[in-house]
Structure 1
Amino acid sequence: MLTPTSTEALPGPAGNRPATFQCLAAAYPHHPPCSITLSVHDASSARLALRWLKERTSHITDQLDAPHAQPGRHWLTDEAEHERALTYLTTGTAYQLTLYDEHTRYVLVAYPQGPAA
């Protein structure tokens, strides 16, 4: 079963700075069309945002049937794609991964919130 999680903003290296990357995982069932938030996380760096994406992708693919899990399992081992995600995040662009099964679309996204103050 997918378990929703939530964390508070992580302090930055210089004290109580807010996290600079927002990470979200949501499920979108086809019937009825709606969205279900699975996880929300704040990360203080692009690498930590990528780590969160990997962990949540692993959790979701573990619960999918093998044919539907395959794209997520491939993504988990694709180092070139991970570097691409890091480049996107560090240059201010959101990164999104979408997985599907017969009844639901799973969207994982990380995006920069701007520099920590």
Structure 2
Amino acid sequence: MRWLHQRAAHIADQLDDPAAAIARHWLTDQAEHERALALLAHGELYAHTIHEDNLRYLLSARPANRTALPKQAP
């Protein structure tokens, strides 16, 4: 989720102070971080919207599909 935090920080840098403060709070919200990890651990999508006036940024993360490893020759 590090890239999600980095993207949110970049977005916050572009927003006016009130919206930026809300976005930056999300970066340090431990309860929300735990909720995101729980959703991802259960194979679900996590989404968070950052908004300012009529502008909306939707940040989302989902677990990668598990891929089968190729069979090894004996």
TM-score w.r.t. length of structure 2: 0.82
Identity %: 51
1:61 corresponding residue in structure 2 = 12
> Residue 103 in 1 paired to residue 54 in 2?
yes
Higher helix proportion (structure 1 or 2): 2
| CA distance in structure 1 between the aligned counterparts of 2:43 and 2:37, rounded to whole angstroms | 10
- Aligned position for 2:31: 80
SS at match of 1:56: helix
- The CA deviation at 1:113 is 3.4
Q: Quote how far apart the aligned CAs of 1:104 are.
A: 1.0
Aligned AA (2:17): A
Q: Which has the larger strand fraction?
A: 1
CA distance in 2, matches of 1:68, 1:81: 18
**Aligned amino acid, residue 41 of structure 2:** T
Pairwise CA RMSD:
1.2
Instruction: Specify every segment of 5 or more residues in structure 2 that has no aligned partner in the other structure, as ranges.
Output: 69-74
Which sections of structure 1, spanning at least 5 residues, go unmatched?
1-49
CA distance in 2, matches of 1:79, 1:68: 19
Structure with max Cα Rg? 2
**How far apart are the structure 1 equivalents of 2:47 and 2:22?**
14
Q: Give the secondary-structure state (helix, strand or coil) at the position aligned to 1:112.
A: coil
The residue identity in structure 1 corresponding to 2:38 is T
1:91 maps onto 2:6 in alignment = no
SS at match of 2:48: strand
Size of the aligned set, in residue pairs, is: 68
Equivalent residue for 1:25?
Answer: none
